[in-house]
Amino acid sequence: MADREKKPNKIAIWWRETVGELHKVSWPTSQEAWHLTRIVIIVIILVGIFLGLVDFGLSKLVTLVVG
């Protein structure tokens, strides 16, 4: 039984190391987080519009070639 108590618990070690690493992270302020969130949403919308236009154009091209 003594052997069992001496072995380090791998999950506990992983958790301790993870928490330690999270303390080293430079977290953004609330204002920075909202600013970056807005940028991501705008980029997603622009990429969605672009891909929609490309899809529309390619579907029209395929229709012309096939039909």
Q: Which residues contact 28 (CB under 8 A, 6 or more apart)?
A: 36
> What pLDDT tens digit does each residue of the chain (67 aa) get?
555 566 778 998 999 999 999 999 999 999 999 999 999 999 999 999 999 999 999 999 999 999 8
Amino acid making up residue 58? L
pTM above 0.85, yes or no: no
For the residues of 9-65, what is the DSSP string, one character each? -HHHHHHHHHHHHHHHS-PPPHHHHHHHHHHHHHHHHHHHHHHHHHHHHHHHHHHHH
